Amino acid sequence: DGGITQSPKYLFRKEGQNVTLSCEQNLNHDAMYWYRQDPGQGLRLIYYSQIVNDFQKGDIAEGYSVSREKKESFPLTVTSAQKNPTAFYLCASSMWRNNEQFFGPGTRLTVL
Amino acid sequence: GDSVTQMEGPVTLSEEACLTINCTYTATGYPSLFWYVQYPGEGLQLLLKATKADDKGSNKGFEATYRKETTSFHLEKGSVQVSDSAVYFCALSDSTGTYKYIFGTGTRLKVLA
């Protein structure tokens, strides 16, 4: 089955540690996105990538980093510089110039 | 910049009641409009979409019409079920060609048996 996988589903880290969230898709989509969701709020865009080896900052990129070395993969690193990293993180993908986005199941990160 | 405003929840309804969740937008161009649904602890699923004015999106008994004159895309369902309990997000695609999404804050729907 084609789709987007995110792992792990739950992640716990100590304050001050970097952590990397995985996102993989087998839909052959060109574009991939990372969003952050906080309780009672909509989704906010962290980073997005239209093609391999290229990515752009979204609205809340500070304290995060990404890479896009392969079309299928778009990992997100939450660095120790992110002031309030505890949140639900969602990855999405789409065909470029087809603006329907497909979402993964999400990773809930808790920083202790 | 572009923005989306959704009615605040939670919305609590009895089974078989009618549902309307309001969504209005501001955009400088001609965005596509979407409704997504999120069940507890899960990612978002596309419920329906409309890509131009007067288009009606529909799926699973839900529908919404792209109204350019009122800049609205209200979600409606004639008879809700307990299984419709979820959070509903209205979104638009960025009208400047980057295809980024702008989301509303979400509306929680609870349907009681």
What pLDDT, on the 0 to 100 scale, is given for residue A97? 67
Taking only the tens place, the pLDDT of each residue in A22-71 is 999 999 999 999 999 998 788 999 999 999 999 999 999 999 999 999 99
Tell me if A75 sits within 8 A of A66, measured CB to CB: yes
pLDDT at B2 (0 to 100)? 86
- Pairing mode of beta strands A10-13, A107-111: parallel
Provide the token pair at B103: 């989301």
CB of A45 within 8 Å of any CB in chain B? Answer: yes
Q: Do A90 and B89 touch (CB under 8 A)?
A: no
What is the side-by-side order of every strand in the sheet holding A64-66?
A: A4-7, A19-25, A76-78, A64-66
For tokens 């890479």, name the residue.
Answer: A67
* Residues of chain B positioned with their CB less than 8 A from the CB of A47: none
Mean pLDDT, to the nearest integer, of B9-17?
Answer: 95
Contact A63, A78 (CB under 8 A): yes
Chain B residues in contact with A43 (beta carbon < 8 A): 44, 89, 101, 103
How confident is the model over B27-46, as pLDDT tens digits?
888 899 999 999 988 899 99
What are B22-32's pLDDT values in tens digits? 999 998 888 99
Nearest to B44 among A90, A96, A99 (CB): A90
Instruction: Please tell me which residue of chain B has the smallest CA distance to A91.
Output: B43
pLDDT attached to residue B100: 81
* A103 and chain B in contact, CB less than 8 A: yes
Closest CA–CA distance from residue A79 to any residue of chain B (Å): 23
Interface test with A, best of B7, B36, B39, B44 (most A CBs within 10 A): B44
